Homo-oligomer: A and B are copies of this chain.
C-alpha cells in the first residue's frame, strides 16, 4: 500500500554526529585499522575525524564501556588488548548463551522463523563459496541474530554482540581459517537442521561443537602470534 505522502518522507533520519563517529571508530577498531594496544590520542582523532574533542571524548567513553578501549590514568585511552585467558572466558560465556538461545529457538520455532533461518544459512553458504570474509562475518551474525531474537532473547543478543566485538579480530581470523571452511558450513547446517526439526538438545549440541572448535582455533592463533 503506497500512498502519496510516502514519497515525501525524509530518509536521512537524525543521526547525530556522535553516532557517526562511534560507528566510524568502532569499525576502525574492529577492522584492525587501529591496532591492538595502539594509543588513541584525542586531538589526533579530532583532526582525523574532523570533529571537536567533546564528541571524541563521549565516543571514547562509550567504547570504554563496551570493552573495546581501555583508559589508563594520565596516559589516555588505547585499544584494548586481548589475551587468551580473557578470550577463553568470552568463548565460555558465548557457549552458555548461544546454547540456551539455540535450544529455546528450536523449541519455539514456527514456519516464519524457519524460513528466515534457512535464508540466513543460504547467505552463509554463498559467502563461503565467494570467500569474502567480511560478508561471511555479517552473514554469520545475521544467522545468530535470527536465533536469538526469535527466542525472545534480545538482551542476551546484546551481550553476545558486545562480546563478539571484543574478540572481533580473533573471530575474523577464525572464520577465515581454512579448516573452518571445510567443516564450518557443515556445522552451521547442523544447527539449522536441528532447529528446523525442533530438536532443542541437538541444537545445543551442534552449537557446542561449533563454538568449541572456534575456540580451539582461536587459542592456537592467539598463542602462536604472541607467546
Question: Chain A residues in contact with chain B, CB under 8 A?
Answer: 14, 16, 54, 57-59, 61-62, 64-66, 73-74, 85-86, 89-90, 92-93, 96-97, 100, 152-156, 159, 163
Name the residue of chain B whose CB is nearest to the CB of A18.
B61
Name the residue of chain B whose CB is nearest to the CB of A99.
B96
Bound-state Cα–Cα, A95 to B85, Å = 23
How many subunits of this chain does the assembly comprise? 2
Which of A89, A90, A159 has the most C-beta atoms of chain B within 10 angstroms of its own C-beta?
A: A89
Query: Can you identify 10 A-B contacts, CB atoms within 8 angstroms?
Result: A16-B73, A54-B54, A54-B57, A57-B58, A58-B61, A61-B62, A89-B153, A89-B156, A90-B155, A96-B100
Write the nearest CB–CB distance from A98 to chain B, whole angstroms. Answer: 11
A86 near B54 (CB under 8 angstroms)? no
Name the residue of chain B whose CB is nearest to the CB of A66.
B65
Bound-state Cα–Cα, A64 to B74, Å = 24
Write the nearest CB–CB distance from A164 to chain B, whole angstroms. Answer: 13
Q: Which of B57, B58, B74, B152 contacts A14 (CB 8 A)?
A: B74
Bound-state Cα–Cα, A153 to B59, Å = 28
Write the nearest CB–CB distance from A13 to chain B, whole angstroms. Answer: 8
Which residues on B sit within 8 Å (CB–CB) of A90?
A: 155
Name the residue of chain B whose CB is nearest to the CB of A65.
B65
Which residues on B sit within 8 Å (CB–CB) of A64?
A: 62
Which residues on B sit within 8 Å (CB–CB) of A73?
A: 14, 16
A93 near B156 (CB under 8 angstroms)? yes
Which residues on B sit within 8 Å (CB–CB) of A58?
A: 57-58, 61
Q: Which of B61, B65, B97, B163 contacts A93 (CB 8 A)?
A: B97
Write the nearest CB–CB distance from A72 to chain B, whole angstroms. Answer: 11
Bound-state Cα–Cα, A90 to B155, Å = 7
Write the nearest CB–CB distance from A20 to chain B, whole angstroms. Answer: 14
Known interface pairs A62-B65, A65-B66; A155-B54 also in contact (CB < 8 Å): no
Known interface pairs A73-B14, A159-B159; A154-B89 also in contact (CB < 8 Å): yes
